[in-house]
Amino acid sequence: MTGVPAEIGQLSNLQVLDLSNNELTGLPNELGNLKNLQILDLSGNKYSQMDLDKIIQNLPKNTKIIK
């Protein structure tokens, strides 16, 4: 898997998202729409820090991000 569908941003009640070890090369901005997200595991992927920075701006401040 090289990408995450943008539709993931519609899962408004999602609290934990484990995308670890999928060799992701990009992250959709729509991840920032997950307003109830508590844990986001992105370890073991090849996304850019710029992609992550855009998403982090919109996530809840208490979201734990595992890189």
> How confident is the model over 8-63, as pLDDT tens digits?
999 999 999 999 999 999 999 999 999 999 999 999 999 999 999 999 999 999 99
Residues near 30 by beta carbon (within 8 Å), at least 6 away in sequence: 6, 7, 8, 9, 10
Q: pTM for this one?
A: 0.94
Instruction: Give the span between the Cα atoms of 45 and 64, in whole angstroms.
Output: 17
Residue 50, SS3 per DSSP: helix
